[in-house]
């Protein structure tokens, strides 16, 4: 269909781009992309799926990051993986039909990412995936399924690091689809670091820089059963004998943690807002986490990180940063944490984690290129 290809070479001013966000780790990734697209004249429509919807996991991020209220709110809410995916798809499809965007941008690896990616691909709209190519190679993680599927659906694969580019090449993606753009999460971190430090979270919590360790836990495999969580809490209690720990508890894990934590050296607090959490990371002597984004932010901040997982989709934080993959064996976690406290790893920052990834993404998307004129499934159906 030559008409479609011609239409897709429209000037940047004319481009309408839907940016999708829906859960905590999306907001800090979509913001720099929206800003860079709008600065170059694109019309950005922010669609919020409603996957996360409460004050602590959602509203505070819009305030802290200065994101405007969503243009469309899908209200897809909670539910099982399939229920959520289906609800988001049902709600997103008419929005895409009505707005006829030139492209849809999805970020990260949450349910909203894959659900909206599926809708966009089947509607024949160009799809861009920010954070493409990350692989844990652990198919038991819902996020890994989301990553692989959304990359397969995408026209533009916007990779945060060279390892992600290598993964995409190994999986046979075309060179002109793959763009090494750097890490948008770090754009947001650098843009807000000074403001975060000035906001006074440490003082409010009675903490001093270097005087505590910070913990987050929310991966289903770690927190959904007491059999998995209890040994981790046991290891944390041991580390806490040396250094008090603060743990902003994800709603998924909060009640189980309240049951299992039996020492006042581990302090449970509600999930922190973005600025407070950045300040907590920056001031920590060590961070213990199963979060993806926290592995990256600690690397960029040069704060030692011990990852409580057997694998990571962010190996660059291990090879180029301050992250150490400890696995789930409690004795090993304690040993590694003690080693890190005694001799912290030297800070190093991966290439292109420089605060300008959003701008590079906008250049790719608005620059067109051969991915923008590639045949879509709808073209092939004729």
Three-state DSSP string of 249-267: CCCCCHHHHHHHCCCCCEE
* Stretch touching ligand UDP by CB under 6 A, among 75-83, 169-177, 287-295, 315-323: 287-295
User: Is 39 in contact with 358 (CB distance < 8 Å)?
Assistant: no
Active site residue 218: yes
Through-space distance between the first and last CA atoms of the chain, rounded to whole angstroms: 9
Rounded to whole angstroms, what are the CA distances from 345 to 162, 227, 241?
22, 31, 21
Q: How far is the CB of 342 from ligand UDP (least distance, A)?
A: 26
294 binds ligand UDP (CB under 6 A): yes
Q: E strands, the chain, where?
A: 16-21, 43-48, 72-73, 103-107, 126-130, 156-159, 178-180, 213-216, 245-248, 266-269, 286-289, 305-307, 323-325
Q: How far is the CB of 58 from ligand UDP (least distance, A)?
A: 11
The Cα–Cα gap between 27 and 7 comes to 30
Nearer to ligand UDP, 244 or 369 (CB): 244
User: Is 155 in contact with 177 (CB distance < 8 Å)?
Assistant: yes
Nearer to ligand UDP, 55 or 379 (CB): 55
Choose, by CB under 6 A, the member of 58, 85, 291, 307 that binds ligand UDP.
Answer: 291
Paired strand residues for 20: 47
Q: How far is the CB of 347 from ligand UDP (least distance, A)?
A: 18
Nearer to ligand UDP, 64 or 102 (CB): 64
What residues from 15 to 34 belong to the interface with ligand UDP (CB under 6 A)?
A: 24-25, 28
* Stretch touching ligand UDP by CB under 6 A, among 156-164, 190-198, 288-296, 322-330: 288-296
Nearer to ligand UDP, 294 or 305 (CB): 294
Nearer to ligand UDP, 167 or 289 (CB): 289
In the stretch 255-284, what mask flags binding to ligand UDP with x, by CB under 6 A? ----------------xx-x--xx------
* Stretch touching ligand UDP by CB under 6 A, among 38-46, 204-212, 285-293, 299-307: 285-293
Q: How far is the CB of 277 from ligand UDP (least distance, A)?
A: 4
Burial of 317 (0-12, 13-18, 19+ CB in 10 A): buried
* Coil, strand or helix at 287: strand
User: Is 47 in contact with 20 (CB distance < 8 Å)?
Assistant: yes
Q: How far is the CB of 60 from ligand UDP (least distance, A)?
A: 8
Nearer to ligand UDP, 12 or 278 (CB): 278
The Cα–Cα gap between 261 and 122 comes to 47
Angle between helices 226-242 and 330-342 (to 10 degrees): 30
Count of residues near ligand UDP by CB under 6 A: 16
Nearer to ligand UDP, 280 or 336 (CB): 280
Q: How far is the CB of 99 from ligand UDP (least distance, A)?
A: 27
Nearer to ligand UDP, 125 or 291 (CB): 291
The Cα–Cα gap between 200 and 103 comes to 40
Q: How far is the CB of 61 from ligand UDP (least distance, A)?
A: 7
What residues from 127 to 166 belong to the interface with ligand UDP (CB under 6 A)?
A: none
| DSSP for 196-245, written as a single string | HHHT-HHHHHT--TTS-EEEE---HHHHSSHHHHHHHHHHHHHHHHHS-E
Q: Which member of 52, 218, 250, 356 is catalytic? A: 218
* Coil, strand or helix at 312: coil
In the stretch 209-248, what mask flags binding to ligand UDP with x, by CB under 6 A? -------x-x-----------------------------x
The Cα–Cα gap between 4 and 142 comes to 35
Q: How far is the CB of 292 from ligand UDP (least distance, A)?
A: 4
The Cα–Cα gap between 270 and 253 comes to 11
Choose, by CB under 6 A, the member of 182, 283, 293, 330 that binds ligand UDP.
Answer: 293
Half-sphere exposure of 253 (CA within 13 A, CB side): 29
Active-site residue list: 218
Question: Which residues contribute to the site for ligand UDP (CB under 6 A)?
Answer: 24-25, 28, 216, 218, 248, 271-272, 274, 277-278, 291-294, 297
């Amino acid at each position: 269909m030559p008409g479609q290809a011609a239409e897709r070479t429209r000037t940047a001013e004319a481009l309408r781009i839907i940016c999708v966000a829906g859960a905590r780790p999306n907001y800090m990734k979509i913001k720099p992309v929206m800003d860079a697209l709008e600065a170059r004249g694109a019309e950005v429509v922010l669609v919020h799926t409603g996957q996360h919807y409460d004050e602590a996991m959602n509203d505070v991020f819009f305030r802290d990051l200065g994101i405007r209220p969503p243009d469309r709110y899908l209200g897809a809410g909670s539910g099982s993986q399939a229920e959520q995916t289906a609800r988001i798809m049902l709600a997103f499809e008419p929005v895409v039909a009505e707005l006829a965007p030139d492209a849809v941008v999805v970020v990260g690896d949450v349910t909203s990412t894959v659900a909206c990616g599926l809708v966009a691909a089947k509607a024949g709209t160009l799809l861009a995936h920010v954070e493409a190519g990350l692989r844990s190679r652990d198919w038991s993680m819902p996020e890994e399924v989301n990553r692989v599927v959304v990359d397969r659906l995408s026209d533009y694969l916007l990779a945060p690091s060279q390892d992600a580019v290598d993964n995409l090449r190994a999986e046979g993606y075309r060179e002109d689809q793959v763009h090494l753009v750097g890490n948008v999460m770090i754009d947001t971190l650098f843009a807000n670091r000074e403001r975060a430090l000035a906001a006074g979270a440490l003082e409010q919590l009675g903490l001093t820089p270097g005087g505590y360790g910070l913990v987050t836990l929310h991966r289903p495999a770690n927190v959904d059963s007491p059999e998995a969580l209890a040994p981790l809490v046991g290891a944390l209690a041991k580390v806490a004998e040396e250094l008090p720990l603060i743990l902003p508890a994800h709603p998924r894990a909060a009640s189980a943690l309240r049951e299992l934590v039996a020492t006042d050296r581990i302090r449970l607090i509600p999930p922190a807002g973005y600025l407070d959490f950045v300040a907590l990371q920056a001031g920590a002597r060590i961070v213990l986490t199963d979060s993806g984004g926290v592995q990256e932010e600690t690397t960029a901040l040069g704060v030692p990180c011990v990852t409580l997982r057997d694998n990571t989709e962010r190996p660059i934080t291990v090879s180029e940063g301050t992250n150490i993959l400890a696995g789930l064996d409690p004795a090993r976690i304690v040993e590694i944490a003690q080693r890190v406290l005694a001799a912290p790893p030297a800070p190093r920052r991966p290439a292109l984690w420089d605060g300008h990834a959003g701008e590079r993404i906008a250049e790719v998307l608005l620059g067109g290129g051969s991915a923008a004129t590639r045949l879509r499934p709808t073209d092939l159906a004729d």
